[in-house]
């Protein structure tokens, strides 16, 4: 996946989700308050995060881990299923936290080779996911407190949702402009850099020109001179 496509998808998803908070702040606030303890959604988030993590384990090529891959598959799959069975308290928050950590890895890996300073916007956002993901994994009730503060009243809910919506659309705009331009191969040097005649001829489908070089041999002494 390219960084431009990833930014567009993330930006639109984040922006449109918060746009609902601008248009319907009361219902949006009610959904947010319900999220931390809505266990059925937690099952989905944990299982998606588990399969995503196992996908990364399958891509690991370090030789020291190859012999242990079946054991690692069983271990991490057991952790995911065990969380659904035995750690149901704030399960959606834990699932979201793991997804944020995995998503941050995807963003950083994708942005690494894109030559534009604008990539720091998405990379900084990803590092905020890492900090929040680790924090909410240890203290999942912190997200509940943040949600309660964000939705304390309708004006605050609408204002904060609007700011997040603008940021999401800004990220999507970067994906369609700066990131896409940075990913496009530059061809300007083809028109400006000088090229040898043989390369020009090859590009035109012609044989390169042959230049005959004649080296005059020194005159032979005549018989009289000998």
Residue 198: predicted pLDDT: 44
Q: Is residue 191 part of a domain?
A: no
Residue-wise pLDDT tens digits, 24-59: 999 999 999 999 999 999 999 999 999 999 988 888
Closest CA to 2 of 139, 152, 181: 181
pTM (predicted TM-score):
0.78
Q: Is residue 43 part of a domain?
A: yes
Q: Is residue 96 part of a domain?
A: yes
Residue-wise pLDDT tens digits, 68-85: 888 888 988 898 999 888
Q: Is residue 194 part of a domain?
A: no
**E-state strands within 4-59:** none
Q: Is residue 217 part of a domain?
A: no
* Full residue range of the structural domain in which residue 41 is found: 3-183
Taking each helix axis from N to C end, the angle separating 91-111 and 39-59, rounded to the nearest 10 degrees, works out to 30
Element (H, E) at 103: helix 91-111
Q: Is residue 192 part of a domain?
A: no
Q: Is residue 146 part of a domain?
A: yes
Based on the structure, what is the number of domains in the chain? 1
Instruction: Report residue 167's pLDDT band, with 50, 70 and 90 as the boundaries.
Output: very high
Angle CA 93–162–173, to nearest 5: 95
Q: Is residue 207 part of a domain?
A: no
């Amino acid at each position: 996946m390219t960084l431009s496509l990833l930014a567009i998808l993330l930006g639109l998803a984040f922006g449109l989700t918060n746009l609902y908070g601008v248009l319907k702040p009361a219902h949006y606030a009610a959904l947010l308050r319900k999220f931390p303890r809505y266990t059925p959604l937690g099952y989905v988030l944990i299982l998606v995060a588990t399969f995503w993590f196992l996908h990364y384990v399958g891509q690991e090529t370090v030789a020291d881990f190859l012999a242990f891959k079946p054991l690692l598959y069983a271990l991490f799959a057991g952790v995911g299923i065990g969380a659904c069975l035995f750690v149901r308290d704030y399960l959606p928050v834990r699932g979201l936290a793991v997804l944020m950590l995995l998503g941050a890895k995807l963003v950083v890996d994708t942005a690494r080779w894109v030559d534009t300073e604008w990539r720091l916007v998405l990379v900084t956002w990803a590092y905020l996911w890492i900090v929040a993901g680790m924090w909410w994994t240890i203290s999942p009730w912190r997200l509940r407190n943040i949600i309660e503060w964000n939705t304390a009243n309708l004006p605050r809910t609408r204002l904060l949702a609007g700011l997040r919506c603008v940021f999401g659309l800004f990220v999507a705009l970067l994906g369609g402009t700066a990131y896409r331009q940075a990913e496009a191969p530059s061809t300007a040097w083809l028109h400006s850099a000088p090229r040898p005649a043989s390369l020009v001829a090859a590009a035109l489908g012609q044989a390169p020109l042959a230049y005959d070089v004649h080296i005059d041999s020194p005159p032979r002494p005549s018989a009289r001179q000998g």
